């Protein structure tokens, strides 16, 4: 008896499935319906990254504001990320926002999305290649421009021997930043690879680096949370090195107020997420080309002791 009932369920399910796979291809149901759009946001972030959580908040806020559906997903492995883009194309979304940390790895998938008539916007990294792949625009902070600005600022502060802390192996953008810092600093910039998933280890690595070379007068971190590790490391090592960082958090701003961190570069991740979705929305709704084929800058904005109080308020909301 049981077995027959099971058979019935399976048979019914199979029938329903056939019906289902038939309707899936009919239409995308979105075009023409004002505001009824679905966008896939696919970044190269690892799960639980504070910076990318702000990007995600930006995309979700834009989705709420415009009344569109936003699906956020991420994979640090370019092969995995490109598979998610393929998935979004198969899902016939109305637009894709993608961060291109490794353009070569995403080339095929992004071109396939463009070929399928799906508008693509790149955010964060990928400014050099977005046009080539057919993306409508890029929203982000040029790693080179930001890195050079930081190098200049560090030089103005009188620093000449800086450790550049890289928290993510395989991220081309981070390497570019450190390189650009060296171009304007005019001194020595040495990269230090750390395990970004383990803050205690990050702090220990920086500490030993400072202990090993007492002539180091600056530590530059490339993510907000690592600046806190660096501040701890400087104290632990009894070093006089100054700390500067890319990206913000509440703690970073408090440390800037206290003078423990020289400055923080804000590339405004919330803006990247929000504008990424906005660009697609305006394209679908109104045929607009935000940026007119040129990249749109989301930063850099410097947070120093002077303006830290204002920024802190927003950082508490998780939007800066």
Partner 1 sequence: MATATAQPDERLATTGPVARLLKRPEIGALIAALVVFLFFALTTETFATPAGASTWLQTSSTIGIMAVAVALLMIGGEFDLSAGVMTGFTGLTVGVLTTHWGLNIWVAIVVALVLALAVGALNGFMVMKTGLPSFIVTLGTFFVLQGIDLALVKLIIGQVAIQGMSNVPFYAQPQKIFGSTFSVGGATIHVSVLWWIAVTIIASWVLMRTRAGNWIFAVGGAQSASRQVGVPVFRTKIGLFMTTAFAGWLVGMLVLFRTSTVQSNTGIGQEFIYIICAVVGGCLLTGGYGSAIGAALGALIYGMVNQGIPYSGWDSNWLKAVLGVMLLGACLINNWVRKRAENAR
Where does this chain bind partner 1 (CB under 8 A)? 13-14, 16-17, 20-21, 23-25, 40, 47, 69, 71-74, 76-80, 82-84, 86-92, 102, 104-108, 168-172, 175, 193
What are the angstrom distances between the C-alpha of 200 and each of 73, 128, 226, 267? Answer: 28, 35, 10, 26
Which whole-number Å values give the CA distances from 191 to 163, 174, 248, 316, in the listed order? Answer: 6, 10, 21, 31
Which CB, 87 or 187, lies closer to partner 1? 87
Calpha distance 116→296 (Å, rounded): 24
Q: Which residue number, 71 or 304, has a Cβ lying nearer to partner 1?
A: 71
- Is 90 in a helix, a strand, or coil? helix
Q: Name the residue nearer to partner 1 (CB basis): 51 or 263.
A: 51
- Name the minimum Å distance from CB 107 to partner 1: 7
Asked whether 212 and 205 are in contact (CB, 8 A), the reply is no
Cβ at position 82, least distance to partner 1 in Å = 6
- Tell me how far, at minimum, the Cβ of 69 lies from partner 1, in Å: 7
Q: How far apart are CA 31 and CA 285, in angstroms?
A: 9
Quote the least distance from Cβ 318 to partner 1, whole Å. Answer: 14
Beta strands in the chain (DSSP E): 38-43, 69-74, 95-99, 120-124, 137-140, 161-166, 188-193, 218-221, 242-246, 261-266, 296-297, 301-303
Q: How far is the CB of 80 from partner 1 (least distance, A)?
A: 8
The one-character DSSP state at 294 is S
Nearer to partner 1, 24 or 117 (CB): 24
Cβ proximity to partner 1: between 175 and 250 the closer is 175
């Amino acid at each position: 008896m049981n077995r027959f009932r099971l058979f019935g369920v399976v048979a019914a399910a199979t029938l329903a499935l056939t019906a289902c796979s038939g309707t899936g291809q009919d239409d995308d149901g979105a075009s023409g319906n004002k505001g009824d759009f679905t966008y896939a946001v696919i970044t190269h972030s690892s799960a639980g990254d504070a910076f990318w959580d702000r990007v995600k908040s930006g995309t979700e806020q834009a989705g709420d504001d415009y009344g569109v559906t936003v699906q956020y997903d991420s994979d640090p492995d370019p092969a995995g990320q490109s598979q998610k883009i393929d998935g979004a194309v198969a899902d016939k979304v109305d637009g894709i926002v993608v961060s291109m940390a490794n353009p070569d790895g995403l080339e095929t998938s992004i071109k396939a999305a463009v070929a399928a008539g799906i508008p693509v916007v790149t955010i964060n990294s990928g400014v050099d290649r977005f046009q080539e792949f057919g993306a409508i625009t890029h929203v982000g902070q040029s790693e080179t421009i930001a890195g050079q600005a930081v190098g200049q600022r560090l030089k103005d502060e009188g620093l000449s021997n800086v450790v550049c802390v890289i928290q993510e192996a395989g991220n081309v953008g981070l390497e570019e930043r450190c390189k650009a810092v060296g171009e304007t600093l005019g001194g020595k910039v040495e990269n230090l690879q750390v395990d970004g998933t383990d803050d205690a280890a990050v702090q220990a690595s920086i500490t030993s680096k400072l202990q090993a070379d007492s002539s180091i007068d600056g530590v530059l971190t490339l993510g907000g949370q690592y600046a806190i590790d660096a501040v701890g490391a400087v104290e632990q090592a009894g070093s006089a090195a100054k700390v500067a960082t890319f990206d913000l958090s509440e703690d970073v701003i408090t440390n800037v107020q206290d003078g423990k961190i020289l400055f923080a570069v804000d590339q405004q991740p919330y803006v990247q997420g929000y504008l990424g979705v906005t660009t697609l929305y305006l394209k679908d709704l109104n045929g607009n080309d935000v940026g007119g084929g040129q990249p749109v800058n989301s930063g850099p904005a410097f947070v120093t002791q002077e303006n830290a109080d204002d920024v802190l308020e927003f950082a508490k909301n998780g939007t800066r």
